[in-house]
Amino acid sequence: MATGVMGEFELIKRYFARPEIAQIQGQYTSSILGIGDDCALFDIPPDMQLAQSLDTLVEGVHFPGECDPFALGYRALAVSLSDLAAMGAEPHSFTLGLTLPRVSELWLKEFSEGLAQLAQRFKIPLIGGDTTKGPLTLSLQVQGLVPKGQALLRSGARPGDLICITGTLGDAAGALPSVLSGETPETCGDESLKYLLHRYWYPSPRLFAGQWLRQAGATSALDISDGLLGDLGHILEASNVGAEIEPDLVPRSAALDRYHDQDTALTLALTGGDDYELCFTIPRQLAQTLPAKLSDGCRITCIGQINDESGIVRDPQGNLLSKKAYTHF
């Protein structure tokens, strides 16, 4: 379908078939037939499984209108890659469905450059997609590879396992009011808020951490997109277990604690979404294998343990903690 003045094929060729995004060379990309045919083709090594995830982001629901297109492109791919991280998968390729209300060459240039920056960082090429006209909507499907039978699932947590978190929580939610008002890291003068805004727009998909955890013996994992308590509830439900966590151990950034009062910061860390850190469980006897930080600088913090009280989350004093999940906008 033609979209505005520029036709679909010209749009794809100019902004999304460029070598810096469509011809990225990764570990498993040598056999890919990508953009240019009706379908992409690729081989899967016989000892691997294909992991796929699809995310759809709608303007006004998942991101505010009139936002920075470079940051939007970066964030859209980061959100999708976080799903691969949660499974312990290695990035392979991605596709993009792009619905545009109108064609702006400047918008397309900046959006595709944001995509390309993160794609190059993790060596994941764009291999196909579609464009059409309508309300601004982004649909990204990512593919990853994981050794057969070794993917991290939500259903493997067992009583006695430790509950751990990568990075810090609450930062993105702590920036949300400013995100909605149109403030960006580039326009913000407050250093603490600038850090929180950067965490919202430029999340770090924990791909290295996920692969490391898969090899280290983690029993379950997921990425925290809708808040710690809500997402931890998915592990508890899938594994038919309960949890005890110490709220004060939940890792928070210095910027979050400076910008918000302590009660607000704690609530944001427990229930705020969009940080895309990993929550995982690991057998207690493997706890000594967990470093405080991984080689890429990613921090790991243990915040509690799994028990047999199915579906229930308590603090050490026995108080119930609500499994409230964050609602996007």
Q: Are 123 and 23 in contact (CB under 8 A)?
A: no
329 found inside a domain: no
- Same domain membership, residue 292 and residue 193: yes
221 found inside a domain: yes
Angle at the Cα of 200 (from 135 to 275), degrees rounded to 5?
110
326 found inside a domain: no
328 found inside a domain: no
- Same domain membership, residue 175 and residue 110: no
The confidence score (pLDDT) of residue 31 equals: 66
196 found inside a domain: yes
- Same domain membership, residue 108 and residue 14: yes
Give the pair of three-digit tokens for residue 173: 């939610």
- Same domain membership, residue 140 and residue 24: yes
- Same domain membership, residue 201 and residue 61: no
- Same domain membership, residue 43 and residue 177: no
- Same domain membership, residue 242 and residue 103: no
Listed residues 112, 147, 182: the one ending a domain: 147
- Same domain membership, residue 213 and residue 276: yes
Q: What is the CATH number of the domain that holds 267?
A: 3.90.650.10
Per the structure, the complete domain to which residue 176 belongs is given by 162-314
212 found inside a domain: yes
- Same domain membership, residue 84 and residue 200: no
Listed residues 147, 175, 191: the one ending a domain: 147
Tell me the whole-structure pTM to 2 decimals. 0.92
Q: What is the CATH number of the domain that holds 137?
A: 3.30.1330.10
Residue 123 CB: number of other CB atoms within 10 A? 15
Q: Any residues with CB less than 8 A from the CB of 189 and at least 6 apart, and which?
A: none
Listed residues 115, 147, 179: the one ending a domain: 147
Residue 89 DSSP symbol: P
**Number of domains comprising the chain:** 2
Q: Are 294 and 213 in contact (CB under 8 A)?
A: no
What's the chain's length in residues? 329
- Same domain membership, residue 221 and residue 121: no
Gap between the Cα atoms of 189 and 185, Å rounded:
8
Q: Are 322 and 270 in contact (CB under 8 A)?
A: no
Angle between helix axes 69-87 and 105-122 (nearest 10 degrees) is 30
152 found inside a domain: no
Residue 190 DSSP symbol: -
20: burial class by Cβ within 10 Å (0-12, 13-18, 19+)? middle
- Same domain membership, residue 298 and residue 178: yes
- Same domain membership, residue 304 and residue 184: yes
C-alpha atoms less than 13 angstroms from C-alpha of 192 in its C-beta half-sphere: 12
Q: Return per-residue pLDDT of the chain as tens, 329 residues.
A: 334 456 677 887 888 888 888 888 777 776 677 777 788 888 899 999 999 999 999 998 888 888 999 999 999 999 999 999 999 999 999 999 999 999 899 999 999 999 999 999 999 999 998 889 999 999 999 999 999 999 999 999 999 999 999 999 999 999 999 999 999 998 898 999 999 999 999 999 999 999 999 999 999 999 999 999 999 999 999 999 999 999 999 999 999 999 999 999 999 999 999 999 999 999 999 988 889 999 889 999 999 999 999 999 999 999 999 766 434 33
The confidence score (pLDDT) of residue 112 equals: 96
128 found inside a domain: yes
